[in-house]
Structure 1
């Protein structure tokens, strides 16, 4: 509920404080007194698009403060939470407009942008007038209005859940088809690569082991050549052992004729031959131990080079070939299992589609039933508004499936029997449109509304019994919502629970607008003025009292 509106230096208002009440709030005054300025100011603080020049002449800046009461579950709380703004049982909107056109807004004393203001506006205030473009004349809102009238919350929730499940199944199937198509595109490569890797069967760390073994065998081959040369140098025949043996034989043969002078030499050569024999035996044992099989070295080199070549081919490290083989196997397994998995996903998609279709069709049936009830309710509302010859029809047409079902909804009217039906704003004249909108709003009202409803001269072009019917329906709306009405109709004004008169005054050459709350006596005079004009007669006052008495 809008509790107060404080306006400073806006258009022809220097300072104005208004305190609004629950129920039907009526604003009256002569044409040009400034009633529309109040709506301009309210629209400004709510972030609506409006006049470019709002600051009062001579002022540096204009300011509007609007205070709303918010019950605990009001939808504005969600907007505040999403915007990270403080929330409570009171919402204070403040917006300043400088002479240079710079606009700054605060929500509960925190800076806020125009988008936040407009989001709050959508759940705080609803404006209706003959040029209504924020409410009932917007065809995109008709489906939601019909759903609210029909109390389709449960059916809508079921449809939205089914739509999300259908979308998820669609996504899963599309992703699986994309993956399977990619795998099929590389099937030849996968099968060839897996075959090569399986035949090679590389193991992590195997390259290092093979390289070390290869180096060891290559080194052993070179060492064996040196040892073999040493063995040949020490061996029999031309080797050291053969020569020393010959020398010992020669010395032993000559020792008898040397009176023992060769005994030490003979003994030393004997010992040397014994040590030389031991050395030769050790060399022979070593040669046997390090003998390298040329086939083993060749096999080791071949496997080492094969692993390195495979790693280069796939652009990975040799130690990663085993992991690559596992990955390629997994992709190949996925390809082989893909057709079965795809069939499962296709079935899940078909099941989700059937579930969505059931939910959407149930919602469509509920909408058709609600449309009949709404059309009947509108027929009952139009007759008292002197539009018994007019007709209202809710059209439900097929639409692209979506989270809110498969229907497009449009409110259409025909003002005369036999005339073609069409959109509200295309068929109805100004006065007719006002009454259509009012009747529709009365029919759509369900329970306590979280919105403050504003009707700007919606009774223009009607009078007498029709105006009285308009006033009664506005009063009926005000039993479940706060309603603000700007009106020139005395019949409507008389139905107000709270009444203000907008006046324009000229002081020292400056025109200013002010708003005065009216007590019962002042209301009689104001309604009498609306009935008779500038000269208020006793008859007019009597008529005003009759209207107020209801």
Structure 2
């Protein structure tokens, strides 16, 4: 319930503090007095998108604060919890609009976004404006109204539709992939066989290239190394050095030690020479190769490079490339089986969707009968006892909300054929149809504040009185704020405010005043008589107030 509304420096409102009450709250005043500004202010604090420029001329900023009372099971508590805001029994919304257009909002002193405010507003306030009943003319909204009346959960059907759409997409993608793969099946099988036969390893191309170069250069250097080996052998340097050592050792004992150093040096030279011979022999051994081996090596190296060029990949990537081709072949080889599994999944998804959609249709048809009966009961007090309201349900193409099209039809006169609302009902009748629907739907959203902006337009006299009485009846289960020009409706309000526009020192401001019983008589008399309030108008006002 909306408990209070504080407005500061907004449009033509300087300062305004309103304390609303449960039940039927009526706001009256002459046209242009500023009643719509109150709705603009409330919409602003609730995050609705409205006028761009709201700050009163000359002010730095405009500010609106709204206080709501929340019941323990109020839907707003779920929105607050999702936003990470602690819910209390009192909900305070505050929003500021600076002169340069910046907007800032708080929820219970926590900064909040306009998105959170709008989510809260859906649980706090329901606005029915002067042209709101035009929504009745659009059949697209009729299904939503019926679903709201039935308290139906469309979630299972929507989830089944999402699963069905996903199954269709999966099958379509598989079919496209299989078709594309089959186009290149011959190439894939030949390429995989060719790659599998060669079976190249990462890094193999570089290893083969180094080995090939080594083998090619071996013959060029082997002859020189062999000559060097011969020069160091016992037929060459080694033999000469051994002879020299033997000759010196034969005379060393007669040289009185003068040859000891030379003998020691020759011994070391022979040791080093032996190591050099071993290294040369190892090198010659390594340079030994089979010419047929070189031929085989070159064939494999050239085959790897040819495949790499053929498939436009690096030689080291041939293995990964082959694996990719195998996977594409696997799609072909297992494609039919995969399609069969996808067909089964699609059939199951379609069965689930149609079963849930059919169940939803049954609920809607049953609820349509209840709604028609409830509307008949509500139209009679609204002086439309001869009108017949009927909910027509026809099957349409499947969609996320089921397979039903809902349309409200009416016959306003006995014997007249039923037809769409936009062709049958007048403006005043549309307002009463809307009010009757709201009465039928009233119990579905507890704790909601409902605002009716001139819903009684186009009616007067006994019909206006009937509208007022239905609003009063509706106010027993919800708080109502009604902007009205009808004295019959105003007289039935439990609480009455007058909206006035004043001009002082060249500045126009709007004020809202709660009316005492005597002031209510004067206001309703004004609504009856106009500018000149007569005694007869006052008596009529007293009669309306009962």
Using the size of structure 1 for normalisation, the TM-score is 0.77
Residues 197-227 of structure 1, C-alpha deviations (whole Å, 9 max, x = no match):
1211223343344345434544543455457
Q: Distance in 2 between matches of 1:290 and 1:514?
A: 110
Alignment of 1:118-197 (within 5 A): 118=118, 120-132=120-132, 136=136, 139-153=139-153, 156-197=154-195
Q: Which moved more, 1:29-38 or 1:370-379?
A: 29-38
Secondary structure of 2:333's aligned partner? helix
TM-superposed deviation, 1:52: 7.1
Q: 1:539 to 1:112 in 2, by over 3 A?
A: closer
Q: Does 1:436 align with 2:437?
A: no
Kept in 1, the 8 Å contact 2:491–2:524? The answer is yes
Q: 1:389 to 1:148 in 2, by over 3 A?
A: same
Q: Distance in 2 between matches of 1:406 and 1:231?
A: 97
Kept in 1, the 8 Å contact 2:63–2:94? The answer is no
Find the counterpart in structure 2 of residue 274 from structure 1.
none
TM-superposed deviation, 1:230: 8.2
Kept in 2, the 8 Å contact 1:221–1:292? The answer is no
TM-superposed deviation, 1:389: 2.6
Alignment size in residue pairs: 503
Secondary structure of 1:147's aligned partner? helix
Find the counterpart in structure 2 of residue 96 from structure 1.
97
Find the counterpart in structure 1 of residue 212 from structure 2.
214
Secondary structure of 1:446's aligned partner? helix
Find the counterpart in structure 1 of residue 313 from structure 2.
316
Q: 1:186 to 1:84 in 2, by over 3 A?
A: farther
- Higher-Rg structure is 1
Alignment of 1:35-74 (within 5 A): 35-46=35-46, 48=48, 62-71=62-71, 74=74
Q: Distance in 1 between matches of 2:95 and 2:329?
A: 65
Q: Does 1:466 align with 2:466?
A: no
Q: Which moved more, 1:140-149 or 1:389-398?
A: 389-398
Kept in 2, the 8 Å contact 1:128–1:135? The answer is no
Residues 69-107 of structure 1, C-alpha deviations (whole Å, 9 max, x = no match):
455665556666777888764141424364x8x363424
TM-superposed deviation, 1:344: 0.8
Alignment of 1:199-278 (within 5 A): 199-226=197-224
Q: Distance in 1 between matches of 2:283 and 2:33?
A: 123
Residues 177-212 of structure 1, C-alpha deviations (whole Å, 9 max, x = no match):
232233223222211110111211223343344345
Kept in 1, the 8 Å contact 2:149–2:444? The answer is no
Kept in 1, the 8 Å contact 2:105–2:114? The answer is no
Q: Distance in 2 between matches of 1:90 and 1:289?
A: 91
Q: Distance in 1 between matches of 2:391 and 2:47?
A: 32
Kept in 1, the 8 Å contact 2:55–2:62? The answer is yes
Find the counterpart in structure 2 of residue 517 from structure 1.
514
Find the counterpart in structure 1 of residue 406 from structure 2.
409
TM-superposed deviation, 1:149: 0.7
Q: Which moved more, 1:291-300 or 1:408-417?
A: 408-417
TM-superposed deviation, 1:470: 1.6
Find the counterpart in structure 1 of residue 389 from structure 2.
392
CA-based RMSD of the aligned residues comes to 4.0
Q: Distance in 1 between matches of 2:335 and 2:289?
A: 52
Find the counterpart in structure 1 of residue 246 from structure 2.
none
Q: Which moved more, 1:340-349 or 1:118-127?
A: 118-127
Structure 2, unmatched stretches of 5+, are 237-277
Secondary structure of 1:449's aligned partner? coil
Structure 1, unmatched stretches of 5+, are 241-281
Q: Distance in 1 between matches of 2:200 and 2:320?
A: 10
Q: 341, 346, 349: which is aligned to 2:346?
A: 349
Find the counterpart in structure 2 of residue 3 from structure 1.
3
Kept in 2, the 8 Å contact 1:187–1:332? The answer is yes
Secondary structure of 1:445's aligned partner? helix
Kept in 2, the 8 Å contact 1:85–1:107? The answer is no
Q: Which moved more, 1:354-363 or 1:81-90?
A: 81-90
Using the size of structure 2 for normalisation, the TM-score is 0.78
Q: 1:82 to 1:176 in 2, by over 3 A?
A: farther
Q: Distance in 2 between matches of 1:488 and 1:472?
A: 15
Q: Distance in 1 between matches of 2:325 and 2:478?
A: 68
Kept in 2, the 8 Å contact 1:127–1:135? The answer is no
Find the counterpart in structure 1 of residue 275 from structure 2.
none
Find the counterpart in structure 2 of residue 489 from structure 1.
486
Q: Distance in 2 between matches of 1:323 and 1:129?
A: 67
Secondary structure of 2:132's aligned partner? coil
TM-superposed deviation, 1:17: 1.1
